[in-house]
Amino acid sequence: MREFKILAVVVFFTLVVYIGVEPFAHSQMHAHVEGHDFVYDGTADIEEANTRVENTKEALKKAQDELAKIQGIDDAPQEDIVKAQEAIKKQEGALVKAEETVKRKSLFWNNVASIAQLDANVSNGEASFGTCMACHNGAGINMGGVIPPSLDHVGSLYDRNYLIALLKDPAMASNVDHKYANTMMHPMGSVMAMVTSDQQIADIVEYMMQNKVGELEPKAAFEEACVRCHAVRYAKITQLGDTPEFKEEKDALAYKIKVLDEQALVKAYMGKLPPDLSMMIRARSPHYMETFVENPQTQLPGTSMPRVGLTKENYEKVKTYLEEVGDPSKPAREAIGPWVILFFVVFAVLAYLWKKSQWKDLH
């Protein structure tokens, strides 16, 4: 009976640590982020912008209090007063900019919602879609930092509202407008000069949605959404796609040089080379992965990674592929898990009976 009491004490304190302490520690290190279920209506972007406004107001109030504190000191150094005044001026400028961002994002996403309600003409959309092929032609040529993706599966892969937003203003749609003083400087910014009317946007997106090319397999969804920036060394995938098999070493080296050149272009555009994703599914929690892919700014404010615009269904495919690459033994591990637990249960019972038998004359 004494053993069961000891076990109960151990189990109790283990549960206290696991259920009480660990979640609290995690919450302090990683603030919880609410997802939006891959709905792209601007809610997340406007919430972020409003949060920035509130944070800036707090910083401004703190700077004003600091100035008042300094001014309340007799013979306060003029240098300290000037620094405090400059800090206030800086926060006032930041507040104006933050409030302008809220207005700009609200107007943008309201416009996206209006475009989504227009009656679209698929024939006109097909004609206008041809202008996209100048860049999205499958030639594999880096343009502005990344290789433009193929549009073969665009209607199957991405959310309709996201596509509308992308044609309206790629930087705003991708939530990386903070990188550009003028969003026309986005690598895809030229689309705003080629697709100039809301009706034209509605027509093109309707054509994309009605010309879906079947269901994508997990690997195909992953390659379309992620590979131009991210490598997956465990699957021999680089920013140029699947690594070919080479008979000659010189050919392999030549290809490696092409990969390094492409990585240098991506690094120059993104600020740093995006991480290899081989183990990302095991390095991050499922919630982190989902909210990060849905809107990278929520987990890493200021990041250069753009919002991808995947639908919920296609995110699950990307996740499935990352699990296949980063944790290929998971199905086998899950299958054998119940048997291992059963073994330990049976072993514990037999060990207890053996102990009881061996010690029965000593109690």
d(CA 89, CA 122): 52
pLDDT value at residue 164: 97
Burial class (CB within 10 angstroms; exposed 0-12, middle 13-18, buried 19+) of 263: middle
Task: Classify 239 as helix, strand or coil.
Answer: coil
Query: What is the per-residue pLDDT across 79-93, written as a single tens digit (0 to 9) for each?
Result: 988 999 999 999 999
Q: Compute the CA torsion angle 32, 270, 224, 198 (nearest 10 deg).
A: 90
Token pair belonging to 357: 């038998």
First to last CA, the chain: 12
The amino acid present at 262, given as its one-letter code, is E
pLDDT value at residue 81: 87
pLDDT bucket at 15, cuts 50 / 70 / 90: confident
Burial class (CB within 10 angstroms; exposed 0-12, middle 13-18, buried 19+) of 39: middle
Q: Which of 180, 280, 185 is nearest to 230 (CA)?
A: 280
Instruction: State percent of the chain over pLDDT 70.
Output: 96
pLDDT value at residue 2: 73
Cβ count within 10 A of residue 63:
20
Query: What is the per-residue pLDDT across 310-327, written as a single tens digit (0 to 9) for each?
Result: 999 999 999 999 999 998
Written as one string, the DSSP assignment of 302-347 is T-SPPP--B-HHHHHHHHHHHHHHH-TTHHHHHHHHHHHHHHHHHH
pLDDT value at residue 34: 85
Query: What is the per-residue pLDDT across 21-45, written as a single tens digit (0 to 9) for each?
Result: 766 666 666 677 888 999 999 999 9
Q: pTM for the full model? A: 0.84
d(CA 30, CA 280): 17
Query: What is the per-residue pLDDT across 155-194, written as a single tens digit (0 to 9) for each?
Result: 999 999 999 999 999 999 999 999 998 999 999 999 999 9
pLDDT value at residue 5: 81
Outline where DSSP puts E strands in the chain. Answer: 237-238, 241-242
Q: Is the pLDDT of residue 363 over 60?
A: no
Token pair belonging to 142: 């880096």
pLDDT value at residue 90: 95
pLDDT bucket at 290, cuts 50 / 70 / 90: very high
Nearest-Å Rg of the Cα atoms of the chain is 28
Query: What is the per-residue pLDDT across 58-74, written as a single tens digit (0 to 9) for each?
Result: 999 999 999 999 888 87
Q: Are 121 and 207 in contact (CB under 8 A)?
A: no
Task: Classify 232 as helix, strand or coil.
Answer: strand
Average pLDDT taken over every residue of the chain: 91
Q: Compute the CA torsion angle 193, 199, 201, 207 (nearest 10 deg).
A: -140
pLDDT value at residue 1: 64
